[in-house]
Amino acid sequence: MQRDWRVGDFAANTCRRCRKLVRTRFELRTVQLARTRLCVRDVLVDVCTECDHMVSIPPQSLPQLREAGLAK
Ligand SMILES: [Zn+2]
């Protein structure tokens, strides 16, 4: 089982922009859903500490996105 992440936690993940393994930090961001214009505020996401790119959205944040209308 993967533990729940919290704001300020650090992890390691592969950043698509840096194209390497980077240190990432969990922050609350406004996420724009890919297929809609809907923006979801205060979503916990994994952010690259080198280029500030959003690397990933942890599974624990997905229900929040679904509720906002990602899934029908
Ligand atoms: Zn990066």
Q: Which residue has the higher pLDDT, 71 or 32?
A: 32
> What's the number of domains the chain is made of?
1
39, 28 Cβ separation under 8 angstroms: no
> 22: domain range?
10-71
In angstroms, the CA 58 to CA 46 distance is 7
Is residue 1 in some structural domain? no
Q: Which residues are near ligand 1, the ion (C-beta closer than 5 Å)?
A: 15, 17-18, 48, 50-51, 53
Residue 30 has pLDDT above 90, yes or no: yes
How would residue 8 be classed by pLDDT, with cut points 50, 70 and 90? Answer: very high
> Average pLDDT for residues 55-69, to the nearest whole number?
90
> Average pLDDT for residues 14-32, to the nearest whole number?
97
In angstroms, the CA 72 to CA 52 distance is 31
> Average pLDDT for residues 15-31, to the nearest whole number?
97
The model's pTM is 0.84
Q: Which residues are bridge partners to 15 per DSSP?
A: 20
In the reported structure, the alpha carbon of residue 49 is separated from the centroid of ligand 1 by a whole-number distance in angstroms of 7
In the reported structure, the alpha carbon of residue 14 is separated from the centroid of ligand 1 by a whole-number distance in angstroms of 8
